[in-house]
Structure 1
Amino acid sequence: MMQPETAPRSVIVERHLPHPPEKVWRALTTNHLIAEWLMETDFKPEPGHRFTFTQSWGSISCEVLSAEPLRALAYSWNSQDLETVVSWTLTPVPGGTHLRMEQTGFRKGQARYFGGAQAGWPRFLDALEQLLDQTHQ
């Protein structure tokens, strides 16, 4: 069944990482590590905390919606007329962690944002994997 054009769309990226959830969680929630694979930020894994991701092209305003240490994290991801939510789910699996990232809320007429997220998130997760492989946290 196809989604109607008006239904918000999502970008989902999943990875199996050969690292324990504790190490993956640290990389998702520690500012100097986030800066290595995503962007500069003043993030804290506390619901209600407002923070910004900053890049040379601009910034993204965010707010932590939920944080379950080692299991799940969600925050708003807003820029100009874009209002989305990024959710991370960590599932322990033999030999590591299954990581699922979903960015939801892309509306009709936001093809540029949607395309950017489709191209960007796999690259961000590649960088996250490289960081996890290089660090002995």
Structure 2
Amino acid sequence: MTATAPETRSVVVERDIPHPPEKLWRALTQPHLIEEWLMKNDFVPSIGHRFKLRGEWGGVLDCEVLTIEPNKALSYTWNFDHDDAAYSLKSVVTFTLTPSNAGTLLRVEQVGFRPEQKQAFGGAKAGWQQFLGKLEQVLARPE
């Protein structure tokens, strides 16, 4: 008998952003810009780099860069340890950039939510909408 991995859910958000992939890539990979739309961080765009995202709510996410394809794809772990296992989260966030007629189609996918993590799943669905709204504001500023 083989053991099967527990079923997990994912959050997917897609937005057509009226900017070229290169501009979007900068906002996804430069720490001072990441802080403006996501969280305080010590991100370095290098595979294997471990970094922290520090939320305004006081939480700290442990992350590690998994994939870097400039102007195309970025992924990293998004792990939150909590005393209560129901609130601990081990997930991966992937940003995929595809050139579009409007500029860039940005696809954000966060995978790894266990079925009982309804609150975390709902929080991620709402949170990514807010984060991407802030990202669009950062991108809309004149350079």
The range that moved more, 123-132 or 88-97, is 88-97
Q: 1:84 aligns with which of 83, 91, 99?
A: 91
| CA deviation profile, 1:67-93 (whole Å, cap 9, x unmatched) | 000000000000012100000000011
Q: Which residue of 2 aligns with 1:58?
A: 59
Q: Which residue of 2 aligns with 1:124?
A: 131
How far apart, in 2, do the equivalents of 1:71 and 1:30 lie? 15
Q: Helix, strand or coil for the counterpart of 2:26? A: helix
Q: Which residue of 1 aligns with 2:25?
A: 25
How far apart, in 1, do the equivalents of 2:115 and 2:12 lie? 18
Percent identity at matched positions?
56
Q: Which residue of 2 aligns with 1:72?
A: 73
How far apart, in 1, do the equivalents of 2:51 and 2:34 lie? 13
Q: Helix, strand or coil for the counterpart of 2:95? A: strand
Q: Helix, strand or coil for the counterpart of 1:61? A: strand
Whether 1:47 and 2:54 are equivalent positions in the alignment is: no
Q: Which residue of 1 aligns with 2:106?
A: 99
**Greater strand proportion:** 1
Structure 2 stretches lacking a partner, 5+ long = 1-5, 82-87
Superposed displacement of residue 112, structure 1:
1.4
Superposed displacement of residue 95, structure 1:
3.6
Q: Helix, strand or coil for the counterpart of 2:111? A: strand
Letter in 1 for 2:121: F
Structure 1 stretches lacking a partner, 5+ long = 1-5
The range that moved more, 17-26 or 90-99, is 90-99
Letter in 1 for 2:23: K
Q: Given the superposition, is the C-alpha separation of residues 134 and 62 from structure 1 closer, same or farther in structure 2, using an over 3 Å criterion?
A: same
Q: Which residue of 2 aligns with 1:115?
A: 122
Q: Given the superposition, is the C-alpha separation of residues 70 and 82 from structure 1 closer, same or farther in structure 2, using an over 3 Å criterion?
A: same
| CA deviation profile, 1:101-137 (whole Å, cap 9, x unmatched) | 000010121111111101100000000011101142x
CA-based RMSD of the aligned residues comes to 1.0
Q: Which residue of 2 aligns with 1:3?
A: none
